[in-house]
Structure 1
Amino acid sequence: MPKKFIQRYLPDHHTIKNQKSLKIFGTLLHDANLWHLNRKSVAGAFAVGLFNAFIPVPFQMWLSAAGAILFRVNLPLAVGLVWITNPFTIPPIFFGCYLLGTFVLGQESQDFNFELSWDFLVESMSTIGPALMTGSAICAVTFSVIGYLTMNVLWRSNVKSNWQKRLEMRKHKQNSQA
């Protein structure tokens, strides 16, 4: 993945360090590795961000920030990737996770009407919760591994392509001078 392409869409690290919600991490945000863009930091950020995107909790961004700090990968990218599950995509993604969980656990899927209430949350943890959590865990691990491997391959192929282009330019320059 081209470094300049990713940098174009990432916010400035000074802006992120000054966010009130990230003040809980204190001086941990001053680690330079959290802001570098290299193969390791980008691939790791994809793994952390995609893993947390599939965990059905309301504080995915904080989990992703903590994971980025723990594994010393690119923080803005890891936090931004949790927005794969946004208000528009959460219903189909987590319903798919639920269906996967029912399949793995050998359960029948249950009909339910989603309600934004504490009672629904408590009740659903005993009925649909195990299947949802199982499916979410499987998807989190699967997509984080796929994201990590894909970014590694894309980064390596981009570096290889750039080396090939430079080699061809040198050959062309040498041939034109001869």
Structure 2
Amino acid sequence: MGVKSWLRRNLPSPRKLRESRQIGFFGELLHDPRLWHLNRRSVAGGVAVGGFCMFFPPLGQIFVAAAVAIRARVNLPITLVVVSITNPLTMPAIYYVCYRIGALFLGHPPIEFRTEFWLDYDNWLGILAPLLLGNLLCAIVCSTLGYFVVQGLWRRRLRREIAERRRRLQALSTAGVRRPSSSRRT
């Protein structure tokens, strides 16, 4: 079973996303076939867009990620799956790590995680600058790293497929079987 076939089976279908309340209002823009392609550029771009947008405030993540994916013409389902990494269960930990990174870069002493402190809205102004900086830094690193990891893994898989094809052809030629002539390059 290949990665593409696994992705096709497990990613949301174009019809399901077009009918979605969250992004269905994009309407005709969702009919662009490039949003659904599973190729190296589209998947890597979808991971990058999703990896960047997952650090946005939770109420606008999906909308912004979908809009950017549509504009950049990258794989929309991949983008939405990556954005969904930040969900109500993972968000507190992810945002606290972002806050710590932002505090480190600003030279502020970080505040330890105490639920009552973080739930008190009066304290949010003091943590907003480190949180926003940390979110921006993590978004840049995550999207860049995600893009290049997908590109590298895709190229590695392609090299393996080419090497395997060459081995099969060489085995056929050493066994005396004529190589089929084909005008189509694969």
TM-score past 0.5 threshold: yes
Structure 1: how far apart are the matches of 2:69 and 2:7? 17
Structure of higher CA gyration radius: 2
Q: CA deviation at 1:24?
A: 2.2
Out of 114, 118, 135, which is 2:118 matched to?
114
Q: CA deviation at 1:125?
A: 4.2
Moved more, 77-86 or 140-149: 77-86
Bigger proportion of residues as helix: 1
Q: Please state if 1:166 is matched with 2:180.
A: no
- Distance, in Å, in 2 between the alignment partners of 1:93 and 1:21 is 23
1:6 positional shift: 2.1
Unaligned runs of 5+ in 2: 178-186
Q: Which has the higher contact order (CA 8 A, sep 6+)?
A: 1
User: 1:2–1:155: 8 Å Cα contact kept in structure 2?
Assistant: no
Contact 2:53 2:64 in 1 (8 A): yes
Residues 105-144 of structure 1: pairs in structure 2 closer than 5 A: 105-110=106-111, 113-115=117-119, 120=121, 123-144=122-143
Contact 2:118 2:124 in 1 (8 A): no
Deviations 1:131-160, CA, capped at 9 Å, x for gaps: 000000000000100000000000111111
Going from structure 1 to structure 2, the CA distance change for 1:32 and 1:124 (only over 3 Å counts) comes to farther
Matched residues in 1 for 2:172 and 2:28: separation? 49
Decide whether the 8 Å contact of 2:17 with 2:24 is kept in 1.
no
| Letter aligned with residue 162 of structure 2 | W
* Counterpart in the other structure of 1:78: 79
What's the TM-score, normalizing by structure 2? 0.86
Instruction: Name segments (4+ residues, structure 1) moved above 6 Å.
Output: none
Matching residue of 2:183: none
Are the aligned partners of 1:68 and 1:75 in contact in 2 as well (CA < 8 Å)?
A: yes
Normalised to the residue count of structure 1, the TM-score between the two structures is 0.90
How far residue 36 of structure 1 moved from its aligned partner, in angstroms, is 0.5
**What does residue 67 of structure 1 align with?**
68
**Separation (CA, whole Å) in 1 of partners of 2:161 and 2:51:** 28
- CA 1:41–1:124: 2 relative to 1, 3 Å: farther
| CA deviation string 1:89-109 (max 9, x = no partner) | 111111110000001011112
Mark the runs of 5 or more structure 1 residues left unpaired by the alignment: none
Which sits farther off after the overlay, 20-29 or 65-74? 20-29
